[in-house]
């Protein structure tokens, strides 16, 4: 990180160099503002250093291992793969380093001054930064707060970093446990539970809720539950963890289910029960920045806090704690400061879980639409009916689903569970964001053979005329008839 010759006055002070902060800083600098970015640990924040990027690298390694193990089925004869854990972690670290250096040079190229240290707000237009070389004081016209979030702990069961670990620890293991208990079947629990299982660990996931992933389309969780079973991962729903007792090498997890009281002996416990906003101890209350009851910073759609020249973005603001939401909000804050008419409203935040198979959604589920009084029509297309899926050596688990408003035909949601769902959802995001009609998806020619054809056919299936599913009964109008009606 660069320790620049910073000015004592700056137009925009950005606190936090994660995906919210560094993107806000670059956007503000692009718009001609003078920007100082203060980061206490590493540019790129949790996502780049201890989250999204390292986890995706490990997911790739674990999936590749599984593919090699199963390659006999498609005619490849290979020796069973062995994991050199230290080499895997080194490879993951080189990716993180490369991307961090990329951010450093983008910030430098855009003229952003980066200061390494811990920032404290001292007034509505001033802050201090504790650095290695002492305390520096800054005055700012605007500040963008982007301090992110921290993994939550279970009350009375603190992380020790060796036996009871969080996602950061789980991404840099020195050894693989024989048995791992994962507490929480959210994004972290599923992604990392699956990685460890594929690398050879016996994994049990204890989820407190009675239903897996309740915010998703109701057809998705059963697909994931089956897949977990195939990977020999035990999923316990409705599990209430009472205690974790650990020695140097093992832990006993005591939990209850509606029917039983149980204990589980493991050599590591990953706690993945959500995150909490980093909004304490840096002067927010002192300068009058209002927090909500759960400790998140309150903002309006311009990302302004209750102190109008101070903005907040990302995980410290209530809403899905996702990197892409943080960077989107960071750009808005920068643009508002630069005097542009930007606002964070009517934005659909896509959700992706890099499980096996992957899950991705954008917009409303059928249940959410019903709650809002929107009647919908849906089309579902299974991946097993798609040529491309099978040529990838996939079994064809999962589906794409398009949810459209019955009255207007507007696409209000897209839900995918299956191969490359994380990439496929981009078409759904565009459809929902641009208020596309489902026929925009059917009339767009999709290349063959590709996975996105599943979205075209799911949209066709709204009128029961997908070609690669036989559905008896009345079909919707054909393409040629629709065209002739329009002429
Ligand atoms: P999460 O909120 O996604 O899931 C936490 C899970 O733990 C929930 O299913 C909840 O019911 C369960 N839980 C809570 N307390 C519990 C308890 N005492 N006992 C058992 N289960 C309990 O949180 P997670 O997975 O820790 O992720 C943190 C944040 O990071 C989330 O906002 C998530 O969306 C984000 N993230 C996003 C990823 C992605 O975009 N692919 C990957 C990883 C994390």
Distance between CA atoms of 346 and 415, rounded to whole angstroms? 19
280 lines ligand 1 (CB under 6 A): no
Q: How far is CA 272 from CA 183, 248, 263, 307, in A?
A: 6, 21, 19, 33
CA 69 → CA 80, 82, 200, distances in Å? Answer: 6, 10, 12
pLDDT tens sequence across 78-132: 899 999 999 999 999 999 999 999 999 999 999 999 999 999 999 999 999 999 9
Let me know if residue 126 belongs to a domain: yes
CA distance 233 to 203: 5
Last residue of a domain, one of 258, 273, 288: 273
Question: Per-residue pLDDT for 180 more than 80?
Answer: yes
d(CA 363, CA 349) in angstroms, rounded, equals 7
Reported residue count of the chain is 487
Among residues 2, 302, 295, 6, which one has the least CA distance to residue 127?
6
Q: Among the atoms of ligand 1, which is closest to the Cα of residue 152?
A: 26
Pocket test for ligand 1, best of 47, 148, 164, 184 (most atoms within 8 A of CB): 184
Question: Which residue's CA is minimally distant from atom 26 of ligand 1?
Answer: 274
Distance from C-alpha of 46 to C-alpha of 166, rounded to nearest angstrom: 12
277 CB under 6 A from ligand 1? Answer: no
Instruction: Write down the residue that tokens 């389309």 correspond to.
Output: 217
The pLDDT score that the predictor gives to residue 4 is: 45
Residue 132 within any structural domain of the chain = yes
pTM of the model: 0.95
Averaged over 435-444, what is the pLDDT?
98
* Per-residue model confidence (pLDDT) at position 167: 98
The single-letter DSSP state of residue 385 is: G
Point out the catalytic residue in the list 448, 464, 465, 468.
448
Are 83 and 216 part of one and the same domain? no
Q: Is residue 244 part of a domain?
A: yes
Query: Residue 2: what pLDDT?
Result: 41
Query: Distance between CA atoms of 212 and 221, rounded to whole angstroms?
Result: 6
Percent of the chain with pLDDT over 70: 95
Q: What is the CB neighbour count within 10 angstroms for residue 172?
A: 13
In the prediction, which pLDDT does 484 show?
Answer: 41
Same domain assignment for residues 253 and 286? no
Tell me the CATH number at 371.
3.30.390.30
- Is 19 in contact with 135 (CB distance < 8 Å)? no
Q: Is residue 7 over pLDDT 80?
A: no
Q: How far apart are CA 106 and CA 17, in angstroms?
A: 12
* Ligand 1 pocket, residue 337 CB under 6 Å: no
Question: What is the atom index within ligand 1 of the atom nearest the CA of 320?
Answer: 32
Question: Is residue 191 within 6 Å of ligand 1 at its C-beta?
Answer: yes
Which of 221, 229, 226, 220 lies closest to 416, judged by CA? 220
Of 256, 273, 290, the last residue of a domain is: 273
Q: At 346, is the pLDDT very low, low, confident or very high (cuts 50, 70, 90)?
A: confident
Q: Is 18 in the pocket of ligand 1 (CB under 6 A)?
A: no
Report residue 421: phi and psi, to 5°: -55, -35
**Same domain (yes/no): 207, 140:** no
The structural domain count of the chain equals 3
Q: Is 448 a catalytic residue?
A: yes
* Domain assignment present for 42: yes
CB of 189 closer than 6 angstroms to any ligand 1 atom: yes
- How high is the pLDDT of residue 477? 60
Return the pLDDT at 103: 98
Same domain, 269 and 287: no
Residue 144, token pair as written in the block: 């963008």
CATH code: domain of residue 145: 3.50.50.60
Asked whether residue 318 carries a pLDDT value surpassing 70, the answer given is yes
| Nearest protein CA to atom 40 of ligand 1, as residue | 352
For ligand 1, whether the C-beta of 207 sits within 6 Å is yes
323 C-beta closer than 6 A to ligand 1: no
- The residue ranking higher by pLDDT, 183 or 394, is 183
- Digit-coded pLDDT (tens) for 39-60: 999 999 999 999 999 999 999 9
Closest ligand 1 atom, CA of 209?
11
Is residue 395 a contact partner of residue 368, using CB atoms and an 8 Å limit? no
156 within some domain: no
pLDDT mean across residues, the chain: 95
pLDDT at residue number 478: 54
Q: Is 273 in the pocket of ligand 1 (CB under 6 A)?
A: yes
Gap from CA of 322 to ligand 1 centroid (Å): 11
- Verify cis geometry, omega within 30 degrees of 0, for the bond prior to 154: no
Same-domain pairing of 102 and 61: yes
pLDDT of residue 472: 79
Distance from residue 271's CA to the centre of ligand 1 (Å)? 9
Question: Is it the case that residue 397 has pLDDT exceeding 90?
Answer: yes
Domain that holds residue 447: 357-486
In this prediction, residues 316-338 reach a mean pLDDT of 98
- Alpha helices, H only, 338-420: 366-371, 387-391
Q: Per-residue confidence at 12, pLDDT binned at 50, 70, 90?
A: very high
**Locus of tokens 């000015």:** 7
- Radius of gyration in angstroms for the set of CA atoms belonging to the chain, rounded to a whole number: 24
Which residues lie across from 358 on neighbouring strands? 418
Out of 273, 307, 323, a domain closes at 273
Instruction: Tell me the C-alpha distance between 352 and 417, whole Å.
Output: 10
How many A from CA of 61 to the centre of ligand 1?
23
**437 and 370, same domain (yes or no):** yes
Q: Could you tell which of 274, 316, 317, 359 is best to mutate to test the pocket of ligand 1, judged by most ligand atoms within 8 Å of the CB?
A: 274
Residues 77, 46 within the same domain? yes
Contact 136, 128 (CB under 8 A): yes
What strands lie across the sheet with 234-236, from one edge to the other? 164-165, 268-271, 179-183, 202-206, 234-236
Q: Domain for residue 423, yes or no?
A: yes
User: Is the distance from the beta carbon of residue 209 to the nearest atom of ligand 1 less than 6 Å?
Assistant: yes
Residues 395 and 476 in one domain: yes
DSSP codes joined into one string, 399-465: EEEEEEETTT-BEEEEEEEETTHHHHHHHHHHHHHTT-BHHHHHHSPPPSS-TTHHHHHHHHGGGT-
Task: Compute the distance between CA of residue 361 and CA of residue 164 in angstroms, rounded to an integer.
Answer: 31
Spatial contact of 138 and 10, defined as CB atoms under 8 Å apart: yes
Helices (H) and strands (E) counted in the chain, each on its own, are: 15, 22
What spacing in Å lies between the alpha carbon of 252 and ligand 1's midpoint? 22
> Cβ(312)–Cβ(184) under 8 Å?
no
Same domain membership, residue 175 and residue 115:
no
Cα of 425 from ligand 1 centre, angstroms:
21
Q: Does one domain contain both 115 and 142?
A: yes
7 and 135 part of one domain: yes
The one-character DSSP state at 241 is E
Q: Supply the pLDDT for residue 418.
A: 98
Q: What angle do CA 364, 370, 374 make, to 5 degrees?
A: 80
In short, whether 53's Cβ falls inside 6 Å of ligand 1 is no
Q: Are 378 and 470 part of one and the same domain?
A: yes
| Percentage above 90 pLDDT, the chain | 93
What is the distance in A from the centroid of ligand 1 to the CA of 335?
A: 31
Task: Flag whether 45 is in a domain.
Answer: yes
401 lies in some domain: yes
Q: Ligand 1 test: best mutation among 153, 238, 255, 273, most atoms within 8 Å of CB?
A: 273
C-beta of 272 in contact with ligand 1 (< 6 A): yes
Report the nearest-CA residue for atom 8 of ligand 1. Answer: 186
Query: Residue 485: what pLDDT?
Result: 46
Confidence at residue 487, expressed as pLDDT on a 0 to 100 scale: 40
Per residue in 17-33, pLDDT (tens digit) is: 999 999 999 999 999 99
Q: What is the DSSP letter of 183?
A: E
């Amino acid at each position: 990180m660069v320790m620049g010759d910073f000015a004592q006055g700056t137009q925009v002070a950005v606190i936090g160099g994660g995906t919210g902060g560094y993107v806000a800083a670059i956007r503000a600098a692009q718009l001609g503002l003078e920007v100082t970015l203060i980061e206490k640990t590493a540019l790129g924040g949790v996502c780049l250093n201890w989250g999204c990027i390292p986890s995706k690298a490990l997911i790739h390694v674990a999936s590749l291992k599984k593919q090699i193990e199963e390659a006999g089925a498609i005619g490849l004869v290979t020796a069973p793969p062995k994991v050199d854990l230290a080499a895997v972690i080194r490879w993951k670290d080189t990716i993180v380093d490369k991307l961090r250096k990329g951010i450093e040079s983008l910030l430098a190229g855009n003229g952003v001054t980066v200061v390494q240290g811990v920032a404290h707000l001292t007034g509505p237009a001033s802050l201090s930064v504790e650095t290695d070389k002492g305390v520096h004081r800054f005055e700012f016209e605007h500040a963008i707060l982007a301090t992110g979030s921290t993994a939550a702990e279970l009350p009375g069961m603190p992380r020790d970093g060796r036996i009871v670990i969080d996602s950061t620890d789980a991404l840099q293991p020195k050894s693989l446990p024989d048995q791992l208990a994962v507490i929480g079947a959210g994004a972290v629990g599923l992604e990392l539970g699956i990685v460890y299982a594929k690398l050879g660990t016996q994994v049990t996931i204890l989820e407190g809720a009675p239903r897996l992933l309740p915010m998703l389309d109701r057809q998705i969780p059963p697909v994931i539950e089956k897949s977990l079973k195939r990977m020999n991962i035990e999923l316990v729903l409705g599990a209430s963890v009472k205690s974790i007792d650990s020695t140097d090498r093992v832990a006993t997890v005591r939990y209850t289910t509606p029917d039983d009281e149980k204990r589980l002996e493991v050599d590591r416990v990953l706690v993945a029960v959500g995150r909490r906003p980093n909004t304490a101890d840096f002067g927010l209350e002192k300068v009058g920045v209002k927090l909500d009851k759960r400790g998140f910073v309150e903002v309006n759609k311009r990302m302004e806090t209750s102190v109008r020249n101070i903005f907040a973005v990302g995980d410290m603001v209530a809403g899905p704690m996702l990197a892409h939401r943080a960077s989107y909000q960071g750009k808005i804050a920068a643009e508002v400061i630069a005097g542009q008419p930007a606002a964070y409203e009517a934005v659909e935040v896509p959700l992706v879980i890099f499980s096996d198979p992957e899950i991705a959604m954008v917009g409303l589920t059928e249940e959410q639409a019903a709650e809002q009084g929107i009647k919908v029509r849906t089309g579902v297309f299974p991946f097993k009916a798609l040529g491309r899926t099978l040529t990838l050596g996939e079994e064809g688990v999962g589906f794409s689903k398009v949810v459209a408003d019955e009255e207007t035909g507007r696409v209000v949601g897209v839900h995918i569970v299956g191969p490359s769902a994380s990439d496929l959802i981009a078409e759904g995001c565009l459809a929902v964001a641009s208020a596309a009609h489902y026929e925009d998806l059917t009339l767009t020619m999709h290349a063959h053979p590709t996975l996105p054809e599943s979205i075209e056919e799911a949209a066709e299936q709204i009128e029961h005329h997908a070609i690669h599913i036989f559905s008896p009964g009345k079909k919707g109008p054909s393409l040629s008839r629709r065209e002739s009606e329009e002429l």
